Amino acid sequence: MHTLEQLRSGALQGIKRLQISEELTSFPDEIYDLADSLEVLDLSNNRLRDLPSDLTRLTRLKILFASNNLFEHLPDVLGQMPGLEMIGFKHNRIARVSEHCLPEQTRWLILTDNRITALPESIGNLTRLEKLALAGNQISVLPDSFAQLKKLGLLRLSANALAEFPDLLLALPKLAWLAFSGNPFCPAHDEHADFVQVHSQDMTLHEVLGMGASGLISRGTWRNNEHGFADEVAVKVFKGKVTSDGFPKDELDACLTLGRHDNLVKPLAHIHEPDCAALVMGLIPGDYYNLGQPPSLETCTRDTFTQGQSFTALQAEHIIEQMRELIAYFESKAVSHGDLYAHNVLINAAGHILFGDFGAASKYHNLTSAQQAGVQAIERRALAYFEEDVRGLVNA
C-alpha cells in the first residue's frame, strides 16, 4: 500500500504498481508523473465516482482495479485505453455499461456486486476475453453478441435476474467454469432433512483454518454434542452478502445436495439461524495439501503449480481417475461444481484427493435434457483441463 504523501513527494517514481486507499474523492493528478512506468493501478476502497477523460495518458497501464468505490457507471475513458487487459470494478453502484467503455484487448473483466441490468452489444467485440465475473447484478438477458466470446473460459452469472438459462452459452467453445445459481430460472433450495440441524450455541469456534470468498472456516468444539459427532469439527460460517461466485446460501444448498462421498469434505450438519448460516464438516487430516495454486494474472484461467512439483505417471492417473468418478457423481446429482481446479483439490501422500469449495456450484435438474447435457459438457471441459494439468506434472 502506498500513500499520497509518497506520491506527491516523488518517492514512487519508476514504480510499476501503485495502490492507494485514502478515502479519495478525486483522481490524484500526481499519478500521471508515473506514466512512463505504471502498469498496475489499484484505487480500490476509496470514494471515487468517475475517472478523468485524460486517463489515456497512462499509456503503459495494463491492469486497473477500482473496487469498493461509488461508481454508478463504467467510465467511458476505459474504452480508449487499448493496453488495458484486466479491469476490476466490483462492489460499486454501477448501473450503466455503455457501448464504448470496454477496451477490445480486455482478457479479465470483474463487475461483481453492482446494479447492472443489461450488457452492451459491444461486449461481443472483446474477442480476447477469458474471464468474466458478473455475479450479484440485475441482468435479465444476455446480448446476442455474447456468442462471439470464443475465448471465454470462466463466467460467473450467479445472483442475477435471468428468467431462462442462456442457451447461447452452450456453444462457447472454451467455456469450462460456469456459475449460474441464484437466478429466477434456478430450482428452489431443498430442506435437507437428511442432515442434522444444530444451533450455533452448541459449539465454540477456535482458530481460523481457512478463508474464502463466502466465509471463514474455523476449528470447532462442542458444548452440546447430542448427535455423537467427533469432538473437533470444522465449521464454515457463511457471509450474508453476494460473493464473486454468487449467494452463500446457494453454496450451502449445493454442498448438502451432494452429501457424502469419499473424495468430498464430509458434511455433518448445518446451522440455519437468522444471523448465522453455517456448515459443520469433518476435520481434514493435517497431511493433506493443495494440489495446485490459483491462476496468475498471466495464466488468467489456468492453474499454476509449485516449482518442482511432480508425480509418476501412475500417481497422475490415480488422481485423474478419482476426479472422473467425482464428476460422474456430480452429474448423477445434477450439480455443476463450476470451479473444477487443482487449487480446489487437497491431496495426501497416498494420492487420495478431497475436492471442496462449492461457491460456484449450481443445481440444474430443472433444465431441459439438452441444457443439462450442455452444462455437463462445460464441466467436462474443465475436467479435460484438469487432466492436462496433472499429466503435465509427470516426471519425464
Which of 54-68, 82-96, 124-138, 188-202 bottoms out in mean pLDDT, i.e. has the lowest?
Answer: 188-202
Residue 236 assigned as binding residue:
yes
For residue 189, what is the DSSP state? P
Q: Other CB atoms closer than 10 Å to residue 273's CB: what's the count?
A: 11
In a shared domain, residues 141 and 12 = yes
DSSP strand pairing (131-133 vs 196-197): unpaired
182 within a domain of the structure (yes/no): no
Q: To the nearest 10°, report the CA torsion of 116, 118, 123, 124.
A: 150
Residue 243 has pLDDT above 90, yes or no: no
Domain boundary among 255, 281, 307: 281
Maximum CA extent, the chain: 66
Total domains in the fold of the chain: 3
Q: Taking 80 as the threshold, does the pLDDT of residue 240 lie above it? A: no
> 126 and 18 in one domain?
yes
Q: 177 pLDDT band (50/70/90 cuts)? A: very high
Residues 36 and 114 in one domain: yes
H or E element, residue 257: helix 248-258
Q: Which domain holds residue 277?
A: 196-281
pLDDT in tens, 71-122: 999 999 999 999 999 999 999 999 999 999 999 999 999 999 999 999 999 9
Pairing of strands 63-65, 267-273: unpaired
**End-to-end Cα distance, the chain:** 42
Are 97 and 130 found together in one domain? yes
Place of cell 495502490: 19
Residues 71 and 3 in one domain: yes
In the three-class reduction of DSSP (H, G, I as helix; E, B as strand; rest coil), residue 48 is classed as coil
SS3 assignment, position 116: coil
Mean pLDDT score of the chain: 95
184 falls within a domain: no
For residues 133 and 3, membership in a common domain is answered with yes
Q: Is 86 helix (H, G, I), strand (E, B) or coil?
A: strand
- Give the tens place of pLDDT for each residue, 267-322: 999 988 888 889 999 999 999 999 999 999 889 999 999 988 999 999 999 999 99
How many Å apart are CA 385 and CA 175, to the nearest integer? 11
Does residue 191 fall inside a structural domain?
Answer: no
Which position has the grid cell 462492489? 91
- 266 falls within a domain: yes
Taking the CA atoms of residue 163, residue 177, residue 95 and residue 62 in that order, the dihedral angle to the nearest 10 degrees is -160
**146 DSSP assignment:** G
In a domain, 145, yes or no: yes
Give per-residue burial for 335-359: e unless 16+ CB within 10 Å, then b: bbbbbbbbbbbbbeeeebbbbbbbb
The pLDDT, as a whole number, for residue 396 is: 54
Nearest one of 200, 180, 294, 162 to 247, comparing CA atoms: 180
Last residue of a domain, one of 93, 122, 152: 152
Q: Which residues contact 227 (CB under 8 A, 6 or more apart)?
A: 196, 198, 269
Residues 103 and 80: their CA atoms lie apart, in Å, by 7
